[in-house]
Amino acid sequence: MKLEKVICVALSAVILSLMLSGCCPYSKKKTAEKEIQPAVEAVSPQKTAIVQREEPSVPLPVKPDIEKGKATSAEVKIATTGGEIPVARPEGDMKFVEPGEQLKEIFQPIYFDFDRYNIRTSEQSKLKILAEYLRKNSEISILIEGHCDERGTDEYNLVLGEKRALSTRNFLIGLGIAPARIYTISYGEARPADPGHNEEAWTKNRRAEFKIKQ
Amino acid sequence: MRKHILILFGCLFTLTNLYGQSRVTIEITSSLETKTASSILIAVEKDAFFEKFSLQLAKDLENSDWLDIKSVAWKTEFNISSEMEKASRENVRLLIVCEAKEKLEVKVYDIFEKSLIFEFKTDIEKSPVDLAHTVCDEIIYRLTGKPGIAKSKILYMTRTKDIHTIMMADYDGSNATQIFSAQYIINYPRWFPGMEKVLFLSYRKTFPSLDLLDLKTRQMETFLSEPGLNACASFFRNQSMAAVVLSKSGNPDIYIVDLKGKIIRRITEKKGINASPSVSPDGQDIAFVSDRDGKTRLWVMNPSGLNVRKVDIPSNYTTSPCWSPDGRYLAYAVRYGTEMFIEIYDWNTGKRKLLTNGISWADAPCWAPDSRHLIFTRQDRYQNSLWAIDIHNLKMKKIADNAWSGCWALR
């Protein structure tokens, strides 16, 4: 009986200690550290280099929608919720040209309110037409130029022009165009479409214009 | 008049020691709009060199806006006591005596106290104008404790047809010279730490990058060329870093970079525009423009992007912040009604002061090293010109026509 009691107490102690060790914050921390280790290793340059060497023998799957110049569903979701999609890095000396006369109806400038960069409802149809064209011509990449009127301050207008170009880009990505096909540039107030100094000219100058990559 | 000047100076003369020489700082506690009456005595045989020197020194001291030069006299033989007595009768407060020996010896006397305030020697430079600038800046520094502006240089933009040009001029707009021209767009020239290189926005490689021109070697290098926009640099004075605007993430945001153009960290992550950073002289704060609350306003944060707070300015459009080198003021462009003004915000008092009343459009303020003057772009009938203004007496001087984007002190 005494032996049974001793065994019982001993077993209880072991179970209790196991339970306590399982609940101990220190043990949890240890587990957590172990869990994040692979992630830390995965971004080390050495590992990246190894993955790159292994690439030829184990080719990564290519997403079919990227091949067609379309945005991924994740990119569409980010673009439509106002998130950030990194801008494309220009390759060497890139050249962009005005769309030919036959494309003027498709590559129409869009216009903005003073000190604003949101895409007006009235301008969205122009971007839908452009997106449709780009979907059908997946080899074409474009440049969006952001411009401002002269009434804002000079340096701020440079950044506002960039934001207008980026908002336009986001709208096109939201319509399914791959971000890699869309470059942006701001000229601030340096290149007005209308050199006038009145409301009519300013309205024309607050715009995003489109060029085609050669 | 005498009483007035006494009030002007208030508590006077804090003696400090620097490099073994006694330095005097006059703390002006009353109105700064009244200049201190002064005279110059040239104790040198009159020749073309020293005549030019004296004229330039008088002009430089006047342009400092601290002193009012009542007279310039030439005497090789003189008695300083009787000179001070004479100056006293004319209500002159300071007497500046310049005597050429092996070096140029400069002595500054307080007429009221009948005492020598300070003296210094300087090499007689080849150019009388350069010598005058040196003497003026030393006098102003010893009197006010603030750097003089006579030796400072101003950078600005000009354009003829399709040629964009960065110009460099003396503090008063004289001796303007072209330092770089391009057929592509260049803009916003800024002094790089060390003041021997100029940083500017450049469309040399189609997309806007920040390029760096070495004024001595004429070598050009790319400072920053990330995908998207690279713009709006402001330098830390006590660390080898700059705050810049990049749009590589897909949004214009403020980043900290080192002086080789390597990104250290991103410090804004709000949607919308984050632009035009201006680093405080102690490097503890960064003023910037953001529309995060729906209006284009000024905000301040620390260099980690934390402790963000709004600057209290009653306008829906406030841009172009520039922190004064002494840390006391923030200058900016602000829209009231349909007009754009330059205004300053005093961090000590929380008060604002409109500087350009009567001018319909003003932009791009940039401080002089003395924290008393600043330059700005003024637009009249859509023509840009560059102007300097004294923030105390609001006196304006034109620096250049067909000019904009001025940079004076390191910003």
Q: Report pLDDT digits (tens) over A102-161.
A: 999 999 999 999 999 999 999 999 999 999 999 999 999 999 999 999 989 999 999 999
pLDDT digits (tens, 9 = 90+) for A55-68: 333 344 444 445 57
Residue of A nearest to B272 (CA): A163
Least Cα distance to A75 among A160, A161, A181 occurs for A181
What CA–CA distances, in Å, run from A194 to A49, B164, B253? Answer: 52, 20, 30
Please give, rounded to a whole number of angstroms, the shortest distance from the CA of B246 to a CA of chain A.
9
Mutant choice from B186, B201, B202, B251 vs A, greatest count of A C-beta within 10 A: B251
Residue of A nearest to B295 (CA): A115
Question: Per-residue confidence at B256, pLDDT binned at 50, 70, 90?
Answer: very high
Q: What is the pTM of this model?
A: 0.84
E strand or H helix at A200: helix A199-205
pLDDT of residue B30: 54
E strand or H helix at B396: strand B396-401
pLDDT above 50 (res A52) = no
What CA–CA distances, in Å, run from B313 to A106, A152, A213, B280, B325? Answer: 44, 17, 44, 18, 21
The number of angstroms, rounded, from the C-alpha of A64 to the middle of its chain's C-alpha atoms is 19
pLDDT digits (tens, 9 = 90+) for B260-282: 999 999 999 988 999 999 999 99
**Yes or no, beta carbons of B252 and A166 under 8 Å apart:** yes
pLDDT of residue A91: 82
pLDDT of residue B271: 83
Residue B288 near residue B278 (C-beta atoms within 8 A): yes
pLDDT of residue A40: 29
For B195, the 3-state DSSP assignment is coil
Contacts of B132 (CB under 8 A, 6+ apart): B52, B53, B54, B56, B57, B59, B60, B150
For B291, the 3-state DSSP assignment is coil
pLDDT of residue A67: 54
**Yes or no, beta carbons of B185 and A187 under 8 Å apart:** yes
pLDDT of residue B15: 33
Domain B2-144 has CATH 3.40.50.800: yes
Which residue from A83, A153, A162 is facing B252, i.e. has the nearest CB?
A: A162
Question: Per-residue confidence at B342, pLDDT binned at 50, 70, 90?
Answer: very high
E strand or H helix at B37: strand B36-42
Residue of B nearest to A89 (CA): B227
The CATH architecture to which A64-213 belongs is: 2-Layer Sandwich (3.30)
pLDDT above 80 (res A39) = no
Q: Two tokens at B281?
A: 């002289």
Which residue from B228, B319, B382 is facing A156, i.e. has the nearest CB?
A: B319
**Yes or no, beta carbons of A156 and B275 under 8 Å apart:** yes
Residue B376 near residue B366 (C-beta atoms within 8 A): yes
Domain boundaries, chain A: 2-54, 64-213
Residues of A in contact with B245 (CB under 8 A): 159
Domain boundaries, chain B: 2-144, 153-407
Residues of B in contact with A115 (CB under 8 A): 291, 296, 317
ipTM of the prediction greater than 0.85, yes or no: yes
pLDDT above 80 (res B384) = yes
Please give, rounded to a whole number of angstroms, the shortest distance from the CA of B343 to a CA of chain A.
14
Residue B332 near residue B315 (C-beta atoms within 8 A): no
**Yes or no, beta carbons of A197 and B227 under 8 Å apart:** no
pLDDT above 60 (res B297) = yes
pLDDT above 60 (res A42) = no
The residue-averaged pLDDT of A90-113 equals 92
CB pairs under 8 A between A and B: 104
Please give, rounded to a whole number of angstroms, the shortest distance from the CA of A182 to a CA of chain B.
11
Question: Per-residue confidence at A5, pLDDT binned at 50, 70, 90?
Answer: low
pLDDT digits (tens, 9 = 90+) for B51-105: 999 999 999 999 999 999 999 999 999 999 999 999 999 989 999 999 999 999 9
Lowest-confidence region among A64-78, B278-292, B369-383: A64-78
Percent of chain B with pLDDT over 90: 85
Least Cα distance to B361 among B332, B338, B387 occurs for B338
Which residue from B247, B275, B382 is facing A166, i.e. has the nearest CB?
A: B247
- Give the span between the Cα atoms of A168 and A184, in whole angstroms: 9
What CA–CA distances, in Å, run from B379 to A33, A133, B102, B122, B362? Answer: 61, 43, 49, 42, 6
Q: Which residue has the higher pLDDT, B8 or B198?
A: B198
Residues of A in contact with B276 (CB under 8 A): 155-156, 159
pLDDT digits (tens, 9 = 90+) for B140-165: 999 988 999 999 999 999 999 889 99
Q: Quick one: B153-407 is in which CATH superfamily? A: TolB, C-terminal domain (2.120.10.30)
What CA–CA distances, in Å, run from B149 to B39, B64, B65, B137? Answer: 20, 7, 10, 7
Q: Give residue B250's region: left, alpha or beta (phi > 0; psi -120 to 50).
A: left
Question: Per-residue confidence at A20, pLDDT binned at 50, 70, 90?
Answer: very low
Which residue from B188, B296, B340 is facing A155, i.e. has the nearest CB?
A: B188
Q: For the beta carbon of residue B132, count every other beta carbon within 10 angstroms.
A: 25
pLDDT of residue A90: 84
Please give, rounded to a whole number of angstroms, the shortest distance from the CA of A138 to a CA of chain B.
22
Residues of A in contact with B289 (CB under 8 A): 156, 159
Residues of B in contact with A189 (CB under 8 A): none
pLDDT of residue B274: 97
Residues of A in contact with B290 (CB under 8 A): none
Mutant choice from A84, A147, A149, A154 vs B, greatest count of B C-beta within 10 A: A154
For chain B, what is the total number of helices (H) and then of strands (E)? 4, 31
Tell me the β-bridge partners of B385.
Answer: B378, B401
The residue-averaged pLDDT of B15-28 equals 41
pLDDT above 60 (res B310) = yes
**Yes or no, beta carbons of A152 and B317 under 8 Å apart:** yes
Percent of chain A with pLDDT over 90: 62
Residue of B nearest to A183 (CA): B228
The residue-averaged pLDDT of B316-342 equals 97
The residue-averaged pLDDT of A44-53 equals 31
Question: Per-residue confidence at B31, pLDDT binned at 50, 70, 90?
Answer: low
Question: Per-residue confidence at B17, pLDDT binned at 50, 70, 90?
Answer: very low
Phi, psi of B55 (to 5 degrees): -65, -40
pLDDT digits (tens, 9 = 90+) for A140-157: 999 999 999 998 999 999
Residue of A nearest to B189 (CA): A155
pLDDT of residue A94: 86
Question: Per-residue confidence at B221, pLDDT binned at 50, 70, 90?
Answer: very high
Residues of A in contact with B249 (CB under 8 A): 84, 86-87
The residue-averaged pLDDT of B162-173 equals 97
